[in-house]
A and B are shown apart, each in its own frame.
Chain A
Amino acid sequence: MSRNPRQTSSFPDAAHDAAAPAPVLSFAGVSMRYGRGQETLRGVSFSLQPGSFHFLTGPSGAGKSTLLKLIYLAARPSRGLITLFGQDLAVLPPRQLPHLRRRIGVVFQEFRLLDHLSAFDNVALPLRIAGKKPKAYRDDVAELLSWVGLGPRLHAMPATLSGGEKQRLAIARAVVSGPDILLADEPTGNVDDEMAQRILRLFVELNRQGTTVLIASHDRDLVARSGMPELRLEQGRLFDPAADSRMTPE
C-alpha cells in the first residue's frame, strides 16, 4: 500500500480516490431507528480502508453501539447503503450472513459470554462454529487465554470472573479466529490503566497483521494516547472534527 492505512481518511472523499483500495466497510447516508422511535443514527457516511484503525467516540447514547450492531449484521438500517467486504448488505441473501459474520470479531459492551460454558469453551466458540476440530485449536485457545492474562483461569465459569477478566475473555473470543474486522464496544471500560494499555497493544498488533479495527470508547485518554484517528458520533450524526465545515447534515 502506498500510504499508511492508519492515516487514511475515513470520510467519503477517500472513497472517491481512484488510487485507494476498495474499502472494507462503507456507510452511505445510513439511518437507523429502533421500532417506530426516533432515528438513532442519522445520515451516517464513512468508510474504512483495509488495515485501518479507528476509534468511535461520542457521548453516551450517541449511537455508537447501534452503529457497531449494523456492522456486525445484527440489525438493518432503515435508510442508506452499507457495503461490507464489497457486498451490498441490502441485497445480501440471508444464507450468506454466517459466512460474513465469521470475518467479524465483536467485543460486546456487555460481553455476552455464555454463562454455562467455561472460559476456555467461550473462547473456542467461534472456532467450533467454523467447524474446526478441538485438537486443532486447543493449544491456540490456551495460548490466547494466557496472553490476555487468563491462563490460570481457563476452566473458570464466567460468573466467577471479575469484570475485567470477563472483558479480557470477551476480547479473546473476538480475536481468536483472526477476523478481518474487529469491532470492540468499550473494551477497556472495566480494566485498569495497565490492562487498558495491554489491550490496546493487542489491538494494534492485530491491526499490524492486517485486521481492520474499530473501537467504540469513552476513554478520551486512551484515544489521545493511541494517536489513532477518531470517528465522532453526536446524537446519531457523524461529526468530522477535521472537516467541520464540510459536514452536510441531512
Chain B
Amino acid sequence: MSAEAAQSFLRRWTPGPLMPRGDVRDASLVFVIAVLCFFACLAALAALAADRAAGGWAAQLQGSATVLVRPTGGESVDAAAARAAEALSGVRGVNEAVALEKDKALALLQPWLGKDALDDDLPAPRLVTLDLDPIAPASAADLGAALKAANIDATVDDHSLWIKDIVRAGAWARAAAVGVFALTALAAAAVIAHAARAVLAARHEIVEVLHVSGAEDRFIAGLLLRRFAAMAFVAGVIAAAGAGVLGAAVRLAGGGEGLTPPLPVAWIDLAALLPCPLLAAGVAALSARFSALGLLRDMSNKDWT
C-alpha cells in the first residue's frame, strides 16, 4: 500500500464491529422474531377491533330502552301506554318516547306469548320505546319513578343486563389479546436470550481477548444489545408491514361504515403497528443485555475471563 493509499484508508476508516456481524444476522433468527412480532401485531389489532365492536354495540343499546305497560283498573291499555309515553318524554335524559301501536306491539310480543294467546280479548300489554340521550341517558330508576308517579303499572328494560354482558365480553377479548401480545413478547425475549448466549459461547475467544484488554461486562453486553436490537428492529418492520397489509385487506373487505361493521378494523388502528419495531428492539435489547451479563458473570466466576 502506498503512502497515499494509507492516508486515504485512514481518512475513510471507521472502527470495525467488535463482534462479527454475521452472528446475529442469521436469517432464521430474523424470521422467528418477525413471525412473533407479526402475531403480536395481529393481537394488537384484534384488541382494538374487539374494543370497537363492544363499544359500538353497547352504545346502541345504551341509547335506547323499552317499557312494558300493563293495563290497570278501568283505564285501557292504549290510554295507559299513551300516558306513559307522555310521562316518560318529560324525564331528563329521554329524547323521545313513543307508544307502539297495538299491532306492532303484538307482533313484538308474539314470540313470547304465542300466537293463540293474542286475541283481541286479551288485555295485551303495550310497549313504549325510548330514545335516550347518548351522553347522559336516563337511568332505569328515573324512568321507574316517573311511571310510578303517573300511577302506571309498567316494567322498564334499559338493556343494562345486555350491556354488562357485552362490556364483559369486550373486556375478555381485550385481555386475551393483551395476553397473546405479552406471551409473544416473552417468547421473543426468550429466543433472543438464547441466541445472545449462543453468540457469546461461540465467540468466547473474542470475549476473552476483550476481557483481557480491560473490557467491562457491560461493554461486551452492550455490543450484543445493539446488535440484537438492530436485528429485532428489522424483524419488527417486516412484521408491522405484513400486519399492516393484512389489516388493510380486512378493512377493505369488511366495509367499515357505521359503528359495528362485520370486521371492525379502522384505518386508524393500523397506526398501532408503528411502535412494533421499537418495541421489538426494546425487548431484544433488554433480553440480550441481561442474558449476556448473566453468562459473562458465570464465565468470570469460573475463570476471571
- Residues of A bordering B, CB below 8 Å: 72-76, 94-95, 97-99, 101-102, 106, 112, 114, 116-118, 120-121, 124-126, 128-130, 134, 138-139, 142, 151-155
Contacts and interface: CB of A to CB of B under 8 A. Distances in A.
B17 interface: yes
Interface in B149-207: 205-206
Given A74-B305, A121-B15, A99 B214 contact: yes
B74 interface: no
Contacts of B215: 98, 129
Contacts of B122: none
Contact of A142 (B10, B213, B304): B10
A237 to B, nearest CB: 24
Interface residues of B, number: 27
Given A97-B304, A121-B16, 18 more contacts: A73-B304, A98-B211, A98-B214, A98-B215, A98-B216, A112-B209, A114-B209, A121-B15, A125-B209, A125-B210, A126-B214, A129-B213, A129-B214, A129-B215, A138-B10, A138-B13, A154-B1, A154-B10
Contacts of A95: 216
Contacts of B205: 112
A161 to B, nearest CB: 13
22 contacts: A72-B212, A98-B215, A102-B214, A114-B206, A114-B209, A116-B16, A117-B17, A117-B18, A118-B16, A120-B13, A121-B15, A121-B16, A125-B209, A125-B213, A126-B214, A128-B18, A129-B219, A130-B214, A134-B14, A152-B1, A153-B1, A154-B10
Contacts of B10: 138-139, 142, 154
Contact of B212 (A74, A116, A153): A74
B214 A94 contact: no
Interface string B40-64: 0000000000000000000000000
B300 interface: yes
A112 to B, nearest CB: 5
Interface of B: 1, 6, 9-10, 13-18, 20, 205-206, 208-216, 219, 300, 303-305
Contacts of B20: 116
B304 A116 contact: no
A124 B1 CA distance: 19
Contacts of A94: 300, 304
B8 to A, nearest CB: 10
Contacts of A98: 211, 214-216
B108 to A, nearest CB: 79
Contacts of B212: 72-74, 101, 106
Contacts of A116: 16-17, 20
B9 A154 contact: yes
B208 A112 contact: yes
Given A74-B212, A101-B211, A101-B214, A154 B6 contact: yes
Nearest to B305: A74
A151 B109 CA distance: 99
Nearest to B210: A129
A97 B303 CA distance: 12
Given A97-B300, A117-B16, A120-B13, A155 B214 contact: no
Nearest to B2: A152
Contacts of B210: 125, 129
A106 B9 CA distance: 27
Contacts of A74: 208, 211-212, 303-305
Contacts of A152: 1, 6
Nearest to B297: A94
A155 B9 contact: yes
A65 to B, nearest CB: 13
Contacts of A99: 214
Contacts of B1: 151-155
A154 B12 CA distance: 13
Contacts of B6: 142, 151-152, 154
A228 to B, nearest CB: 25
Nearest to A100: B214
Nearest to B216: A98
Contacts of A112: 205, 208-209
Contacts of A130: 214
A116 B203 CA distance: 11
Contacts of B16: 116-118, 121
